[in-house]
Amino acid sequence: MRLTHPCYSHVLLLLLWISCQLQAPFAQVMDFLYEKWKSYSDECRYNLSLLPPPTELVCNRTFDKYSCWPDTLPNTTANISCPWYLPWHHKVQHRFVFKKCGPDGQWVKGPQGQALRNASQCEMDINEIWSQNKSAQMYSSFQVMYTVGYSMSLGALLLALLILLGFSKLHCTRNYIHMNLFVSFILKASSVLVIDALLKTRYSQKIGDDLSMSIWLSDEAVAGCRVATVFMQYGIVANYCWLLVEGVYLHNLLVLAVFSEKSYFNLYLGIGWGAPLLFVIPWVVVKFFFENIQCWTSNDNMGFWWILRFPVFLAILINFFIFIRIIQILVSKLQAHQMRYTDYKFRLAKSTLTLIPLLGIHEVVFAFVTDEHAQGTLRSIKLFFDLFLSSFQGMLVAILYCFVNKEVQGELLKSWHRWQLGRALEEEHRHTCSHMSTGRPGSTCPGEKRQLVSCSSTSNGAGCSQANALNRNSYLEKTEASPGDPGTEDPRNHPIDLYPVGQRIWTSQLG
């Protein structure tokens, strides 16, 4: 009889199949497995406790982390049904696992003292294992993809947020909304990366004895994991709420004849950061009392999951209708200006493509394909697009609404020119003071202390300071009014600005 030793982390490895079969996130699968394994373990111990004590030499009843064994006579082989917690139990429910009892009344052990068993009948078919391994490799590549996407988005969003915060001329209601949207993307990306790291650490632990298993399954051990899950869910819902705010703001700007941006901003803050709490808090309550399973990543009761899914679905739907309405307005504006058909199509396409990531319109494609109904290839396609677009969406929004924004580029260009001017003045200052020191051996120049305003306390130094100041002012005036400044370019050379300051500017930019 072929014997195999029971690796104490064997339960972890067994679930590779279910992770592919259910096509669910690995963390949810692991939570599901451990809860079933724990139930099997508790049931085993309870049933063994009901058996009468042995009256002769036997191998003692035990649970060896894989299956439940009764008292067994020496020199015999015990056989029991394959454990029901196995994901493929329905295929092996009429098969058995074997364990040999030695002549000394001890279970046969391996060379390193580990218990041995023959569970070959309870294993999956080799062809099925090969098929599931291919699927596992695909899902592993998905994880690498979205990890790269969220990491790149996180870096781009942090840089974009610093830029918008750093320039006071960029502070307006439109950019305040953008900044809050960036923060929601940052919260979403960081929470996903953090919980992935926590789950990887948690599920890679080696579990040996009963004490380590009980500690691993305790509520204290999963507290940090649950907190990270709550923050992740809040970040996801808040992100969709801020996408909705972007759509509502743009719609009001285009449709309302009189629109006070500042009066609505507090309402936007309430929708973006307050509304998610109305759904996340009830979800936490029902998870704690009715589905308190490990890291709260599994969704056995889909009704609880709809508490979070409903606001996301509603935000996607509202933004889609806003998107259609905005496109209608763009078409009417472009037609009113009698543009050439090629220019008309080009500018409309640019504006449409710019709106899609801002409003999350790509979500509509699979919004009506729920996790319960998507199976097989459709499930894989949905998962790929969801993970790819969600992970890279933050980076795309940061690029479109910060890095390539003409107003932002203008401020960055001015800052670059000022920095170059400062260096040029410093070099000129050093050169002038060095020349003065050469002509007057006893003189000193405070320029060697990197002061740019004056060259020395002498009248010549004061003249140098005044000349430098005049040169600087003249240079800045030319810089700010230069034809190359993006702020002075003809707006007709660029795609439509989706955030004009009022209808008048909107109309002029279309002209």
Rounded distance, CA 161 to CA 430, Å?
Answer: 37
- pLDDT band at residue 347 using 50, 70 and 90 as cut-offs: low
Which residue range(s) make up the domain with 47?
10-127
Same structural domain, 119 and 163: no
| Comparison of pLDDT for 309 and 437, the residue scoring more | 309
Distance CA 269, CA 412 (A): 28
- In this structure, the answer to whether residues 360 and 287 fall within a common structural domain is yes
Q: Which of 69, 46, 45, 47 is nearest to 58 (CA)?
A: 69
Shared-domain flag, residues 301 and 334:
yes
Round to whole Å and give the CA distance between 493 and 476: 25
Mean pLDDT, residues 390-397 taken together: 91
Closest to 391 measured CA to CA, from 195, 155, 197, 149: 149
How far is it, in rounded angstroms, from Cα 401 to Cα 395?
10
Domain shared by 268 and 386, yes or no: yes
> pLDDT tens for residues 141-191?
888 999 999 999 999 999 999 999 988 888 888 889 999 999 999 999 998
> Residue 224 is part of a domain; what is its CATH number?
1.20.1070.10
Three-class secondary structure of residue 62 per DSSP:
strand
- What digits encode the pLDDT tens for the residues 403-441? 988 888 888 888 888 888 888 887 777 777 776 666 555
User: Of 429, 423, 440, 356, which is closest to residue 393 (Cα–Cα)?
Assistant: 356
Same domain flag for 210 and 350:
yes
Q: Are 185 and 397 in contact (CB under 8 A)?
A: yes
Answer yes or no: is pLDDT of 88 > 70.
yes
CA angle, residues 448, 451, 457, in degrees to nearest 5 = 85
Q: 24-41 burial by CB neighbour count: b if 16+ within 10 A, else e?
A: bbbbbbbbbbbbbbeebb
Distance CA 142, CA 152 (A): 15
**Degrees, nearest 5: CA angle 319-323-328:** 150
**In the prediction, which pLDDT does 227 show?**
87
Single-letter residue type at 424: A
How far apart, in whole angstroms, are the C-alpha atoms of residue 373 and residue 362? 20
| Structural domain includes residue 133 | no
* 224 and 346 both lie in a single domain: yes
- Three-class SS state of 79: strand
Task: Give the whole-angstrom CA distance, residue 360 versus residue 368.
Answer: 15
Share of the chain above pLDDT 70, in %: 69
Judge if 445 and 351 occupy the same domain: no
Whether residue 267 lies inside any domain: the answer is yes
**Same domain, residue pair 271 and 365:** yes
Look at residues 104, 127, 150 and tell me which one is the last residue of a structural domain.
Answer: 127
Q: Which residues contact 250 (CB under 8 A, 6 or more apart)?
A: 322, 326, 498, 499
For 71-76, the CB contacts below 8 A with 24+ separation are 72/99, 72/101, 73/101, 74/101, 74/102, 74/103, 74/104, 74/105, 75/101, 75/102, 75/103, 76/100, 76/101
Task: Provide the token pair at 373.
Answer: 């109904």
Residue 1 falls inside a structural domain: no
DSSP per-residue string spanning 113-130: S-B-BB-GGGSPPHHHHH
Q: Is the pLDDT of residue 311 over 50?
A: yes
Rounded distance, CA 112 to CA 285, Å? 47
225, 287 Cβ separation under 8 angstroms: no
Q: Is position 421 within any domain?
A: no
Within a domain: residue 412? no
CATH code of the domain covering residue 89? 4.10.1240.10
Residues 212-227, mean pLDDT to the nearest whole number: 66
Q: Please count the structural domains in the chain.
A: 3
How much is the pLDDT for 28?
A: 57
Same domain, 296 and 261: yes
116: Cα within 13 Å, side-chain hemisphere: 16
Please give the pLDDT value at position 284: 94
On whether both 165 and 82 belong to a single domain, the answer is: no
How many angstroms separate the CA atoms of 375 and 20, rounded?
Answer: 11
Q: Kindly state whether residue 183 falls inside one of the protein's structural domains.
A: yes
Instruction: Decide: helix, strand or coil at residue 73.
Output: coil
- Reference 97, options 65, 64, 125, 120; nearest CA is 120
pLDDT category, 465, cuts 50, 70, 90? very low
pLDDT at 294 over 80: no
Residue at 36 is within a domain: yes
| Out of 99-113, 233-247, 254-268, 301-315, least confident range | 254-268
Rounded to two decimals, the pTM is 0.68
- CA–CA dist 191, 230 (Å, integer): 9
Query: So what's the pLDDT on residue 241?
Result: 94
Q: Is 77 contained in some domain?
A: yes
| d(C-alpha 483, C-alpha 479), whole Å | 9
Summarize pLDDT for 63-74 with one digit per residue, the tens: 988 899 999 999
Among 44, 137, 119, smallest CA distance to 78 is for 119
Whether the predicted pLDDT of 474 surpasses 90 = no
Task: Please tell me whether residues 312 and 385 are part of one structural domain.
Answer: yes
For residues 306 and 393, membership in a common domain is answered with yes
